Amino acid sequence: MSKRSGVERFSVSAPPELVREFDEVINKLGQDRSKAIQQAMRLFLSEHRWVDGPESGGCTGAIVLIYDHGVHEAEEELTDLQHGYRQVINSTLHLHIDERNCLEIIAVRGRVSSVKGLIDRLAACKGVKQLKHTVVGV
């Protein structure tokens, strides 16, 4: 690895199909590969940096999940869980995607350990298809 002009060069190994798809997207956006990888790295760091903070420290953010409400007891389990974490949940927005699928956006603020616990428990709920969070330390 060499350092020149305040940058560090490194190589990355990736499956060819992933590289092709990545290049297609960045070309459509008018970006170059280096800038896009830097942006992806910054996003990755911002999404995960709060995890290394002190468990007793504070954080704030949003949890977005998609779930199948047709799965037996999925809604009840999610609702009961959210009631158990009301000390960190500030607001919840519920959207109906189609006959079976719902999207929830949960605004959170509180202790890192509590928010981590909520995320882990939500991810384990029946019917949850996808969970994404954006949380930052405060």
Q: What is the pTM of this model?
A: 0.72
Domain count, the chain: 2
Give residue 114's pLDDT band: very low, low, confident or very high (50, 70, 90).
very high
CATH number of the domain to which 81 belongs? 3.30.70.1150
pLDDT in tens, 27-51: 999 999 999 999 999 888 877 777 6
Show the DSSP H helices in 1-138 as ranges: 16-29, 33-48, 74-84, 112-123
Distances (CA, A) of 32 to 20, 23, 40: 13, 8, 12
Domain range spanning residue 114? 55-137
Calculated CA dihedral for residues 61, 92, 77, 124, nearest 10 degrees:
-20
Residues 108, 88 contacting (CB under 8 angstroms): yes
Last residue of one domain, picked from the residues 34, 50, 66? 50
Co-location of 40 and 84 in the same domain: no
User: SS3 of 85, please?
Assistant: coil
